[in-house]
Amino acid sequence: MGIQNQATILAFDDDAGFLRQLKEILSGEYIVEIATSIPQAMKIIMTRPLDLVLLDMNMPEMSGLEFLKTLRQRNLHTPVIMLTG
């Protein structure tokens, strides 16, 4: 778990408005990091322990499944929940 026994979640989606709403909803119970691009997401993933990744299936740079494959190739086994609109 993250700081103060709160789980840390990365929400990765290309829709910044959705991410702001999600962070507002979850931030009372969880530490929520948000990313709208692969470089942002990878920086967060590589610099802090995460308990969960919420990942959009349809991203402009690569699909959510391709990103998940990249995480696994880097031996990162954080649980991932795939989202789609």
Please tell me the predicted confidence (pLDDT) of residue 62. Answer: 86
Amino acid at 69: K
pLDDT > 80? residue 3: no
Contacts of 55 (CB under 8 A, 6+ apart): 12, 13, 64, 67, 68, 80, 81, 82, 83
pLDDT over 90 for what percent of the chain?
A: 65
Q: Phi and psi of 34, rounded to 5°? A: -125, 150
* Residue 61: per-residue pLDDT: 83
Q: Indicate the SS3 state at residue 11.
A: strand
Instruction: Give dist(CA 81, CA 69) in Å, integer.
Output: 13
